């Protein structure tokens, strides 16, 4: 069957993630009431990215995004995945002709918010050790102390929650203790959620924190950037969740989540068998 490309009355925005973490960015765009049509692409056939080799991701991410742009006639793509952004953002931008918005840990706003001078950074195990993260902290940390913790299994716990399952509470406890039990952890007053999956389980993390803290993620900043890039093209109507895409074939769990989230249709996206 030959699929017709969608008719366009206003900008098409493609939100890309390894799984369903991009839904936190979709939430931010909906809350900002951007006049766009939204599409979400989950590379579920390769989830989780944090367990894959960097070299493989540098090849795969641009190819999957190109296929997503072709399928949705996207005018702007949001790489709503920290791992993909840190590894492949430049590659993606060099291979497509539309604006590409990446996501980075929200170090700068956290540095402006902290009162104690100590920030907690909750990220995937690979993200906390990347030189890219070191550079962000050096450039935007404003001399603040940043305590890092690589949370094992937290993105998967968010996926389980979205699917209606009960995640293992030990995963949330380990994430919280990994930050607050460090030397200096008693001074943390702002926590950066440096993976788009993590805002989806913020309530679970917040319930286990030993005291109230400020939680920061990149969703609002991404929505503002998209609004700036598309400001002359959007209308005044609310965003519409058009179509969800998944690379996982007959992925019924992801399909149920995306339909339940409000997307009108969900379908499989075919990518090169060589990836």
Report, as residue numbers or ranges, the catalytic residues: 81, 195
Q: How far apart are CA 178 and CA 122, in angstroms?
A: 9
DSSP string, 194-234: -STTGGGGHHHHHHHSSS--EEE-SHHHHHHHHHHHTTTT-
The answer for residues whose C-beta is within 8 angstroms of residue 196's C-beta and 6 or more apart is 17, 21, 22, 24, 25, 80, 81, 82, 103, 217, 218, 219
Residues paired with 78 in a beta bridge: 15, 101
Helix (H, G, I), strand (E, B) or coil at 159: helix
Asked whether the beta carbons of 42 and 19 are under 8 A apart, the reply is: yes
DSSP string, 56-80: HHHHHHHHHHHHHHHHHT-SEEEE-
CA angle, residues 59, 54, 86, in degrees to nearest 5:
90
């Amino acid at each position: 069957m030959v699929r017709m490309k969608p008719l366009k009355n206003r900008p098409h925005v493609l939100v890309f993630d390894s799984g369903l973490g991009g839904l936190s960015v979709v939430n931010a765009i909906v809350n900002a009431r951007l006049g766009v049509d939204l599409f979400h692409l989950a590379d579920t056939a390769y989830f989780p990215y944090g367990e894959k080799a960097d070299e493989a991701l540098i090849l795969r991410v641009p190819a999957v995004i190109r296929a997503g742009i072709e399928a949705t006639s996207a005018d702007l793509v949001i790489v709503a995945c920290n791992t993909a952004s840190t590894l492949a953002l430049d590659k993606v931008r060099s291979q497509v002709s539309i604006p590409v918005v990446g996501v980075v840990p929200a170090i700068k706003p956290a540095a402006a918010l902290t009162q104690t001078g100590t920030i907690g950074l909750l990220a995937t195990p690979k993200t906390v050790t990347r030189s890219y993260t070191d550079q962000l902290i050096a450039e935007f940390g404003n001399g603040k102390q940043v305590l890092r913790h690589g949370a094992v299994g937290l993105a998967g716990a968010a996926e389980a929650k979205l699917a209606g399952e009960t995640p293992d509470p030990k995963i949330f406890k380990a994430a919280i203790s990994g930050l607050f039990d460090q030397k200096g952890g008693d001074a943390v007053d702002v926590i950066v959620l440096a993976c788009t999956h993590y805002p989806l389980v913020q309530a679970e993390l917040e319930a286990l924190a030993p005291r109230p803290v400020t939680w920061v993620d990149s969703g609002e900043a991404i929505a503002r950037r998209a609004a700036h890039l598309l400001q002359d093209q959007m209308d005044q109507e609310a965003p519409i969740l058009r179509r969800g895409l998944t690379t996982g074939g007959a992925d019924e769990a992801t399909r149920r989540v995306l339909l339940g989230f409000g997307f009108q249709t969900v379908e499989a996206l075919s990518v090169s068998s060589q990836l």
